[in-house]
Amino acid sequence: MLLCLLLVAFLVNISLGSVDIPLEDIVKILFGNETIKGSWQDIILDFRLPKSITAILVGSGLSISGLLMQTLFRNPLAGPFVLGISSGASLGVALLILGTSTFAGAAATLSISNVGIALAASLGAFFVLSVVMLVARNIKNTMSILIIGLMFGSFTAAIISILAYFSSAESLQQYVFWTFGSLGNLAWSEILILLLVTMLSLVLVITIIKPLNSLLLGENYAVSLGVNLKKTRNLTMIVTGLLTGVITAFSGPIAFIGLAVPHLTKLIIKTSDHKIILPAVSIIGAIIMLFSDTIAQLPTSEYTLPINAVTSLFGAPVVIWLLIRKRNSY
């Protein structure tokens, strides 16, 4: 049923836009029929199809990351960005865009390209992930790692604020637009990288499904069952870092999907078994991201809303509901 709903969401997303294209012609274009109007083929194959595939990969990746973090920290309000990886990516982009007046001309040239921004975000995310992993080696308490990640987020936010204060209006505007998030700027080569990273992360997650199920009952219980806690924790953080870092690099910091989707999935599918919940979270995350993008592009209008604004409008009420529910459960 979820796969059928995913197909419906995909067709709705690819059908709606500023140009009205009949669904029948869209299906023919997807199946390689070249008799359809050339401009319509360009719109579908060069813009709408890459954007829809990106939405599926981003929604799945962020939802899986959120599920992993909520399982690892046993905290319902943990998300894919709690390790500070997204903040590291934002810092990398801020250093490139907002710091162009300080750096050489080569940096200024790179900053206006998608490749330069993606590279800076990837380096920033990798740096923070490396530091968190290094610190985690000497910490046994998992909750301490959560606090360290949050502190990294505050630290990078402070640096970005300083850079923004001294930057030009044009650079600041470019950085703000990046923080809005975007699904429509990726080339096929970049989508391929995103796909490979997502597939690699899924393979790694499959190897730790049993340890993740054990962690649901606490770290002590997992250790008593013979789970290698350090290995499971490190692999979980690596997978989350890979997914969050690459997605943030290519699409910007998209909020709330990773936080809200795991809870919605558990409401629909009454289980915590990762063999079932993991694929369900992946599919539901893709569905919600597709519908969010459909809303963001304001069908029949030439204007589009920032995808981050739409996902936040969806996610914020869920978080508020979770807090109220948690309070009432005591």
Q: What is the pLDDT of residue 111?
A: 47
* Helices 85-97, 229-251: crossing angle, 10 deg rounding: 30
Q: What is the pLDDT of residue 9?
A: 94
Q: What is the pLDDT of residue 149?
A: 82
Q: What is the pLDDT of residue 158?
A: 92
Cα–Cα distance, 295 to 72 (Å, whole number): 33
Among 189, 174, 192, CA closest to 93? 174
**Higher model confidence: residue 267 or residue 329?**
267
Q: What is the pLDDT of residue 223?
A: 85
Give me the mean pLDDT over the 60-87 stretch: 86
* Helices 85-97, 169-179: crossing angle, 10 deg rounding: 150
Q: According to DSSP H, which parts of the chain are helical? A: 2-15, 23-30, 38-43, 49-73, 85-97, 105-111, 114-136, 142-166, 169-179, 188-206, 209-215, 219-224, 229-251, 257-268, 274-296, 307-328
Non-local (6+) Cβ contacts of 328 within 8 A are none
Q: What is the pLDDT of residue 168?
A: 81
* Band of pLDDT at residue 62, cut at 50, 70 and 90: very high
pLDDT digits (tens, 9 = 90+) for 82-107: 888 888 888 888 888 887 655 544 44
Q: What is the pLDDT of residue 33?
A: 72
The 3-state secondary structure of 185-239, one letter per residue? CCCHHHHHHHHHHHHHHHHHHHCCHHHHHHHCCCHHHHHHCCCCHHHHHHHHHHH
Answer yes or no: are the C-beta atoms of 159 and 99 closer than 8 Å.
no
**Higher model confidence: residue 319 or residue 4?**
4
Give me the mean pLDDT over the 130-139 stretch: 80
pLDDT digits (tens, 9 = 90+) for 234-250: 899 889 888 988 898 88
Check pLDDT > 70 for residue 146: yes
Give me the mean pLDDT over the 205-215 stretch: 91
Give me the mean pLDDT over the 111-119 stretch: 70
